[in-house]
Amino acid sequence: MPSSFKSLPLFTSGPHRFLTGKQGELYLPNYIAGGSGAGTTLLGLLELEITVSGRLVASSDSALQTLRSALTDQLAHPPIPGTLIDSRGNTHTNMSLLAIQWDDRTDRNSKTSIAYKAIFKQLS
């Protein structure tokens, strides 16, 4: 099953991988919050964060720009959540694209490509 966001094959032009961020309880040691002594304050569960890192690959500069635009078109304020599906078919609902970081250069050989990282979060 190909990976996608909102049923759009945004990552499939080149190699990519999904990394799930730290999961669990958000906590604050009491001494940081101005308390005295030992102890920890529990603040709630962390929101699910998934980073997709990969490379968009196209036959020309203009085709690469089309792929980049398809991804950046998913950025919105406020974010519009959708379903993120990884290459193993795992489904993550209510995910929002929060940021995209592009590599500092475009590589040109027989194909044109650029590396990226896209950060998705399941906002509560």
Amino acid at residue number 67 = L
Contact 54, 36 (CB under 8 A): no
Structural domains in the chain, CATH included, are: 4-121 (2.40.30)
Instruction: List per-residue pLDDT tens for the chain, 124 residues long.
Output: 689 999 999 999 999 999 999 999 999 988 887 766 788 989 999 999 999 999 999 999 999 999 999 999 999 999 999 999 998 999 999 999 999 999 999 999 889 999 999 999 999 8
Biggest alpha carbon–alpha carbon distance for the chain? 63
pTM of the full predicted structure? Answer: 0.88
Q: Which two tokens stand for residue 105?
A: 């250069």
Contact 82, 43 (CB under 8 A): no
